[in-house]
Structure 1
Amino acid sequence: MIKDLLLDILDILFPILLYQYIVLTKPILKRRSPTHQVVLGLLCGVAIILSMLLPSTITNDFNGDLRNIPFIISLLYGGFMGGAISLACFSLCRLFIHVDGFVVAFISAWIVMSLTSFFVPRFMKRTPRNRFFVVNCLLLFGFAVSICSSFLQNQTYDIVEMSVILQIALLQLVTMCMSSFLMEVTIKTNTMQEQILHSEKLSIAGHLASSVAHELRSPLTVIKGFIQLSLKNAEGRTKDYLEATIAEMNRAEYIINDFLNYAKPQLEKIEIVSVADVFSQMMDMIDPLSQIHNVQLEISSEDHLWVRVDKLKLIQALTNIVKNSFEASKSQQGVVSIHAYRADPSDVCIKICDRGCGMTDDELNKLGTPFYSTQNNGTGLGLMVAFKIIKVFGGTIKYSSEKGKGTEVCVLLPMIAKD
């Protein structure tokens, strides 16, 4: 029995290694996408079937296979769809194996899956250490359920000593540790691949932005100067045309400045400033925008929040983020709230919330990438510049959103202690 379980370890690990190969060589297979869930669910289903059939077909539902490990892995790492697929694979295989107790075995599997499902929604948000602890605790619970179901079916005649039970439990724990380790390595490697690809895109965009902006700025300045000279003597419709041309030239200059700020933000004056003072100065810029978009604005800050930044650049970054919130909320005539507070002893969090149209997970993952915008007439430069500026200040921008319910942005900046 123990020898068969040792061989079963290969039945479990082979599909997981195959999953690792597929994920790391197919960048299009994104985590939590339906395709990802189906692939992981099928591979875990294969692992369950192999465990039940090889090296020999099971004779009872306790000491013959390691089915609970793929069950838990598929549900926690592959979501509800992955778990449902692996459960279906188990049910079909168990039905065609001529061993009594199918109903009890199915109910036992359902109990394990039901408890595991409580951890699914927030599982991937936990730290790797916490995830490792959760999967092993769930495995021990599944092991206890298997013992109980075997007693109910009188399938415990092969278990003569407590040492056998302990050996089986130890083998299952070792296999789960190896499986979860492989899954965590896959996640970390895949994340690093995405970060490297994102950094390469940003680097290319930065070089392109800098070269294009410098090449365009000089001729635009000359053209704008001659138009302004012509405007002095213009009348009637000609004057209107020239004024419209200057307005578009100003817009072009604004976009070019965004290019340059993205390529290399020009920090003119780094100083320790109060977040409340930043909000006070920012209100002069964003309050008229809120009225234009028919959005109610709420802004507040805790006292004694100090950060080391270029005040004007921080205002620019926050304004770019708030503008997106206004755009998302204008059709709902909603509320945009801005609140600053002490997130922990070393960080200040500036939270910007709206109740607008929200974004999907795919849209969230693309935020900050070169020239991506959810707005039809947007360039994506504003948010790119905001990410770049906050990064220069040693901070981060975190987005969370739900389609149809709104978006929450958390700008984290290092807090400065000031007497």
Structure 2
Amino acid sequence: MNAFDCFLINMVCILLPLLIYQVYKMHCHNLEKNEEELILYVMLTSSLYLLLKYGHFTETGIYQFAFVNLPILIAYYFRQKGFALLMSIFVAIYEAWNYPNFLFAGILTTIIYFVLYIWLEKKYQGQKLIQLFLIITMFVFTVSIASTYQEKPIVQLPQILLAMILLYGSTEGIIWIIQKGDDVLDLNAILKELEKEKVLRASLFQITHEIKNPIAVCKGYLDMMDLATNQKKMEYIPIIKNEINRTLVLMDDFLDYTKIKITPEIMDITLLLEELLRELKPLLKEKKVETKIVLSKDEIDILGDYNRLKQVFVNVLKNAMEARAPHRKMKLEITMKKSKNKVTITVKDNGVGMSKETLNRCGEMFYTTKTNGTGIGVSLANTIIERHNGTIQYQSEEGHGTTVTIQLPTA
């Protein structure tokens, strides 16, 4: 096998786990979760293991010593100096075991890498810290390797210099790949923020329009009150109150939507539904709603925000009751089903249902078919479920009712 093939195999051994870590970072970024440091440790360890197990090196050990330094330098790049020190100690022992003349080089690089990084970290930050660290470590690497060939260091000098160039170039290349991946994540974050800002601008424009209408109605009636009789004034006051209340509800809903904060904890979703249905029982009885409830007899734990999820189910049940069809007894069916790693809650009614257009626009901000609706409730419910890594789906047929299916991952 020629030198180039050996180089490629060694780089694949190092890069493969690190690329998997980049994919993991992107996944966490999309879910707006923090990365676990343990995953980084596993990937760096995997790079070192694959390199030692499947890497190809010369008999002198110079190139092996260069390549096994790569995961260590990458660990320092990720600012994991403690873990980098542990890897350095392991590499020093491994190299001394296989190449006894590398004992001094292993000890020297282990100590100097760590002390150098601690010293530079106090003086520099960001890219400058990494660049200075790499340049100085290359000098340390060259001196430490040369010291192992005390008798004829000049003879080995070309190999030592080539190993140093390979180490520096490979480290810079891997860092460049990692940085490009981080740039993509940063760009994605900027695009998300721009999209949020665009949605917020549209929402503010819409809510301004929505608030303007009831205010205009109130102003109109207030203008007429100056010339109206007492009887007319008494008729106008409830209308004005109703418009003001509608405006306040709209503003409260919008504030809820813009301040969604999820505080997840282990909770029993069955208990939540039981308590909610117990609270709604008087209202269901008053509305003469025939209910069929099938809940799990066992606890079903999920990682969720109790109050936010309760808000979702209140909204779904409220919408179902408000969709009552005239001249038809209201029926409401609530079922729960647990599978291997998720729980499915279904709310089915026999109300008026939705047209295809309404169903397609269901969840669109400010879209509503109700006289006093704000068009925010469904959108808010959708967002809360998404923040729980769940899904919410609507199936409806005009004149035949609506089915809402919510799926949440179990703990």
**Fold in common (TM above 0.5):** no
TM-score normalised to the size of structure 1?
A: 0.44
